[in-house]
Structures are given as C-alpha cells and as structure tokens.
Structure 1
Amino acid sequence: MKLEVTLTSHDEAYIIKNLYPLYLYDLSGHYGLTEGHIPNIHGIFEDGLEFRTLMDQYDVQNIWWEKPGCLYPFLMKVDNIPAGFALIATPPHCSEGTDYFVNDFFLMQPFRGNGIAEHAAVQVFDHFKGQWELFTNPSERNIVGHKFWRRTVSNYTLGNYVEYHGNTWDGHKLIFRFNNHPSS
C-alpha cells in the first residue's frame, strides 16, 4: 500500500470536510455519552443547535484553509484513496512554548492496524522541526489511542519525549511533548 501525506489546498478542502464527521463519530466512542461528544438534536456532532446539516458543519472547518503558514491541513491517501487527515496548528493556536500542535489526527477504520497511522504521523512530524505537543482523551475507553501515541512518539523520538496527565484548554488530557529540532 502506498501512503501519501500532503498539505491540502482550498480546492481539496472538501475531502477533509467529508471525513470530519466520521472523525467526530469515531471520537464519540472514546468519550461515551458526555457533553460535547454526542450528536445535537439534528444528528450532527456539534454542540450548537445552529448546526442542522453537515453543510453547516463544513463552514466551521474553513479556518484551516484561511490561515496558511499558521494552520496546516494534511490529507492522508492510501493507494490514492482518502484515508484520513492531520490538522496541525502553530501559535497562536497552541499552548505557550509549543511550535506545532496536533489538533486532530484521524485514520479511517479500514486502514488501521497495519502501521499506516504511525507512518503518516512520522511524515507529518518530519514536515516541521521544533517543539511538538499532542494530547488525547485520558479515559480507559481510549486505551488504543494511548498505546498508539505512546508507541508512535517513543519510536519517533527514540524515547526522548515527555508524557503526563494535565489540564488543557480542552479539559484533562494525556499529553505528549517532544522536540524534533536537531539543535534543540
């Protein structure tokens, strides 16, 4: 299988926007029936009642293509088929002291379990050098996510990373931090 991870243009935004509801649905399995992770009354995984259709949700994602040089939307393709995405943020859209933040990372179910996600993460990490941060739901329901990020970051950094539980702008999380800049 051939993996491609590419920065998307506005012309390709619709592909990530098509995958995004699947990502939100996938996340709901890690959180259970908690606020912010169940569909609204219209069946859309968004908090606001103003989101009545997936088209309404599409507009929320536009920021990723409106701030080049600050927000980076990557599309993952396997054998030329859309398989997932990674949304990478830089300041001011990340915590102080962080150069690059993995805001969202998603690989669809059919492509999981064979190393594609780890290879995709490495390609994204290699795209930028500096202080990285990512966090994930600390719940035991997300043990697969914990193992994935622990293995991926450990392999990538040869064990030179920090992992801890802490409070973030998005609540309590399992946080991973590392620096892939050769002179840092």
Structure 2
Amino acid sequence: MKIEVKLTTTNDAYIIKNMYPLFLHDLSGHYGLIEGHMPNKHGIYEDSHAYKTLQDQYDVQNIWWEKQHCLYPYLILVDDNPAGFALIATPPHCAPGVDFFVHDFFLLQPYRGNGIAEFAAKLVFEQFRGNWELYTNPSDKNLIGQKFWRKTVSNYTDGHFEESVGPTHDGNKMIFRFSN
C-alpha cells in the first residue's frame, strides 16, 4: 500500500472541498447537539445560515489556496486515491510561539484503523521543522481521536510532547504541543 501526502493547488482543491462536508459530519459525532456542530437550516454544516449550498461552503475554503507559504492544504493519498486531508496553518494563523498548527485532519472511514492516518500525520510533520500544536475535542465522545493523537504524537516524538486541556481560540480543547 502506497501512502503519500501531496500539497494541493487550486487545480485539485476540489478534492479536499468534496471531502470537507464529510469531515464536518464526522466531527458532529464528537460534539453532539452543540451549536456550531449541527447543520444550519439549509443542511450545511456551518455556523452561518448564509451558506445555502455546498458551493457557498467551497468558496469560504478558498483561503487555503489563496495564502501560499502560509496555509498548506495537503491531500492524503492511498494507492493514488484520495483518502483524506490535512490542513496546516502557520503564523499569523497560529497561537504565539507556534510555527505549525494542524487546523484540520481527516481520513475517510474505509481507510481508518490500519495505520494510514498515523503514517500520513508523520509525513505531514516531516514537511516542516519547528513548534507544532494541534487540538482535539476533550469529551468522552472523542476517546478514539484523543487516543489516536496521543499515540501518533508520542510515537513521532519518542514521548517528548506536552498534552493539556484548556481554553483555545476554538473553545476548550485537548492540546498537543511538540517540536521536531
């Protein structure tokens, strides 16, 4: 099985955009009936009711391809097929002291549970050197995600990382920090 990560361009941005609603739907299972994690009145997983179609949502995501050298949208490929994505942000889209932030990370259901996500995350981490940060939901509904990130970051750093739970720009989160 060949696993790779590919930095996307505007020419293949649509692939990540096609998977993004699946990612948001997946996240809703980790948060339950919390505002912001439910579809709006048009059936779109976005806070604003201004988004009536998936095209509206696509347009909002264009920032990932408009800010080269600042935002990095990676496609995860398995045997040359789209399997997920990783959206990596750099300053000014990070907390102070953070060089690289895992904004979103997603793997489609058929590819889960066999090491692909961990391998892909490590490939992404290897793209850049510096101080990394990522968040995940600290609730009991997300034990699988917490376990995944704890294991992945621990394996990648040989156990040299910080884990905490606390406030972030996106609410209370489990926070992982490490340097490579």
> Structure 2 length as normaliser, TM-score?
0.99
Aligned residues: 180
User: Could you tell me how far apart the structure 2 residues matched to 1:168 and 1:110 are?
Assistant: 31
Give every structure 1 segment of 4 or more consecutive aligned residues whose post-TM-superposition deviation is greater than 6 Å.
none
RMSD: 0.4
Structure 1 residue aligned with 2:4: 4
Q: Secondary structure at the match of 2:129?
A: coil
Structure 1 residue aligned with 2:68: 68
User: What does 1:59-138 correspond to in 2, within 5 Å?
Assistant: 59-138=59-138
Q: Secondary structure at the match of 2:11?
A: helix
Shift of 1:82: 0.6
Indicate yes or no: 2:146 matched with 1:146.
yes
User: Could you tell me how far apart the structure 1 residues matched to 2:115 and 2:10 are?
Assistant: 28
User: Could you tell me how far apart the structure 1 residues matched to 2:165 and 2:50 are?
Assistant: 34
Uncovered stretches (5+) of structure 1, i.e. residues with no partner: none
User: Could you tell me how far apart the structure 1 residues matched to 2:147 and 2:47 are?
Assistant: 29
Q: Secondary structure at the match of 1:178?
A: strand
User: Could you tell me how far apart the structure 2 residues matched to 1:2 and 1:126 are?
Assistant: 17
Q: Secondary structure at the match of 2:159?
A: coil
Shift of 1:166: 1.0
User: Could you tell me how far apart the structure 2 residues matched to 1:106 and 1:23 are?
Assistant: 6
Q: Secondary structure at the match of 2:126?
A: helix
Q: Secondary structure at the match of 2:48?
A: coil
Deviations 1:30-64, CA, capped at 9 Å, x for gaps: 00010000000100000111101101100010000
Shift of 1:128: 0.2
What amino acid maps onto 2:156 in structure 1?
Y
What amino acid maps onto 1:15 in structure 2?
I
User: Could you tell me how far apart the structure 1 residues matched to 2:3 and 2:136 are?
Assistant: 24
User: Could you tell me how far apart the structure 2 residues matched to 1:56 and 1:65 are?
Assistant: 16
User: Could you tell me how far apart the structure 2 residues matched to 1:154 and 1:60 are?
Assistant: 34
Shift of 1:155: 0.2
Shift of 1:2: 1.1
What amino acid maps onto 2:121 in structure 1?
A
Identity percentage of aligned residues: 68
Uncovered stretches (5+) of structure 2, i.e. residues with no partner: none
Deviations 1:158-184, CA, capped at 9 Å, x for gaps: 00000000100000000000000xxxx
Indicate yes or no: 2:15 matched with 1:15.
yes
Q: Secondary structure at the match of 1:148?
A: helix
What amino acid maps onto 2:36 in structure 1?
G
Q: Secondary structure at the match of 1:149?
A: helix
User: Could you tell me how far apart the structure 2 residues matched to 1:75 and 1:62 are?
Assistant: 15
User: Could you tell me how far apart the structure 1 residues matched to 2:3 and 2:53 are?
Assistant: 31
User: Could you tell me how far apart the structure 1 residues matched to 2:161 and 2:4 are?
Assistant: 26
User: Could you tell me how far apart the structure 1 residues matched to 2:57 and 2:134 are?
Assistant: 24
Indicate yes or no: 2:48 matched with 1:48.
yes
